[in-house]
């Protein structure tokens, strides 16, 4: 059997789940607060996203370069480096500059939001997170079909506001 014949046979034997996994969007969650990270992972996992994670900004740069996620959720108050500095570095790097970055932070003043957007964040979501707002924001970057507001999971608020 030729090489292309093997490839064709392999394609035919892929399961539906395998094909779906190939289409899943990957989100890098940069969050140092464990409860916030767990909640975000659960929420995004339920909605079909593959999650990459790190609590450290410098590691986020490496992961973004190596894994090329479809989107990054960036906490601003990280233990090793400010999330805004991470964003600036990612937006200056040819390998990562097109990855949308959404700031997810308890730093919710208009001044802080302005700083976030000026640093290169594509959007800014304040904690505590309103799920419909977060999902709509994510979907605005990843899908032409946003989630419907009014679904039971979308209208809840994550009551996590620790950290930055």
Q: Quick check: 140 pLDDT over 50?
A: yes
99 contacts: CB under 8 Å, gap ≥ 6:
64, 68, 69, 70, 71, 72, 90
Tens of pLDDT, residues 82-136: 999 999 999 999 999 999 999 998 877 889 889 999 999 999 998 888 889 999 9
Please report the pLDDT score of residue 108 as a whole number. Answer: 77
**Is 79:56 a contact under the CB 8 Å cutoff?**
yes
Please tell me the pTM assigned to this model. 0.76
Tens of pLDDT, residues 9-37: 445 544 444 444 456 899 999 999 999 99
Longest dimension (CA), the chain: 64
Q: What is the DSSP string of 79-98?
A: SSS-HHHHHHHHHHSTTTTT
Tokens of 104: 């997810």
């Amino acid at each position: 059997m030729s090489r292309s014949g093997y490839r064709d046979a392999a394609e035919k034997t892929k399961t539906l789940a395998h094909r779906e996994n190939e289409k899943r969007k990957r989100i890098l969650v940069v969050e140092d607060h464990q409860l916030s990270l767990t909640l975000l992972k659960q929420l995004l996992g339920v909605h079909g996203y593959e999650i990459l994670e790190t609590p450290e900004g410098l590691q986020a740069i490496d992961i973004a370069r190596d894994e090329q996620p479809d989107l990054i959720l960036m906490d601003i108050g990280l233990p090793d480096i400010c999330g805004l500095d991470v964003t600036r570095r990612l937006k200056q790097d040819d390998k990562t500059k097109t990855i949308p970055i959404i700031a997810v932070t308890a730093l919710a003043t208009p001044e802080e939001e302005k700083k976030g957007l000026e640093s290169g964040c594509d959007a800014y979501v304040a904690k505590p997170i309103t799920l419909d707002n977060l999902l709509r924001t994510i979907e605005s970057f990843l899908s032409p079909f946003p989630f419907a507001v009014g679904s039971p999971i979308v209208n809840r608020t994550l009551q996590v506001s620790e950290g930055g």
